[in-house]
Chains A and B, each alone.
Chain A
């Protein structure tokens, strides 16, 4: 009877390892879920490629990235908004910039539009931003792979 109790106690001590393993696996799982990539690079957007698209040497100060999908919706931070409903979101962004003492005219709008998006929709997006006082725009493209013809 006494011997049996002692054996049971040893088994309980030995069972710690799978639990620690499981804990590490959970830690690894949550680490994988962390998005290390920049938030403004959505994988749904397939940018058009250009041989002149080189990364900028100096970082832009005040930017707002608008990602236009081929289904005419705009990815703004974590929201996916149809273009017709974008105005309140942009107005909120403008107010937020003003709270930080940044005028919309000093903010650069980075447009990451899908290669299959309609040009007219891109222009509508620019017009909407113009109405809200934004003046600087850049169109983003990915760098063309070497050896690939345009």
Chain B
């Protein structure tokens, strides 16, 4: 009688494993399916205030904006990059020019804070080039820290 009880208890324990393994596998599948690598995202501020006709007079104290002109072919690939009238090779060149203009002074009231950049892009230009240009003018990464340069960025009307 004693032996029979022990044997049946052992059988029950073996049977109890099955639902537990089921649940474990289900949890595993659940976490596998919901696992998703979400890359961190950041924002770039752009200044696009409403253009009120009564307030259309430009601020005299403000420096004229630096104009960055980007041209594109029909596929949206970048074909030309200019800072004012100065043609540039690439975005690194643009960044170097911006650093030359604003210098290392990036604190409050500095040239970097006062200067404004106007992006003039072809209609078909791929948006990724705009972000590259904004990256080139708005800062740099040194030793893991971001040093901000020009943060006043606006768009000019698109060229077709």
- List residues of A whose CB falls within 8 A of some B CB: 17, 20-21, 24-25, 28, 31-32, 36-37, 41, 47-56, 68, 110, 113-124, 126, 130, 133, 135-143, 145, 150
Contacts and interface: CB of A to CB of B under 8 A. Distances in A.
A133 B42 CA distance: 24
Contact of B124 (A55, A118, A136): A118
19 contacts: A17-B19, A21-B22, A37-B36, A48-B127, A52-B42, A52-B139, A116-B126, A119-B70, A119-B72, A120-B125, A120-B158, A123-B158, A124-B158, A138-B43, A138-B46, A139-B130, A140-B43, A143-B41, A150-B135
Contacts of A117: 126-127
A140 B130 CA distance: 12
Nearest to B95: A150
B40 A143 contact: yes
Contacts of B91: 150
B41 A142 contact: yes
B48 A137 contact: yes
B9 interface: no
A20 B34 CA distance: 23
Contact of B138 (A52, A126, A138): A52
Contact of B41 (A20, A126, A140): A140
A53 B42 contact: yes
Contact of B123 (A25, A114, A119): A119
B50 interface: yes
Given A24-B23, A28-B29, A123-B155, A50 B131 contact: yes
Contacts of A116: 76, 126-128
Interface string B77-118: 000000000000001000000000000000000000000000
Contact of A50 (B29, B124, B132): B132
Interface string B41-80: 1111110111000000000000000000010100010000
Q: How large is the interface on B (under 10, 10 to 19, 20 to 34, 35 or more residues)?
A: 35 or more
Q: Is the interface of A mostly helix, strand, loop or mixed?
A: mixed
B131 to A, nearest CB: 4
A118 B42 CA distance: 20
Contact of B126 (A28, A31, A118): A118
A121 B146 CA distance: 30
A120 B40 contact: no
A56 B123 contact: no
A120 B124 CA distance: 6
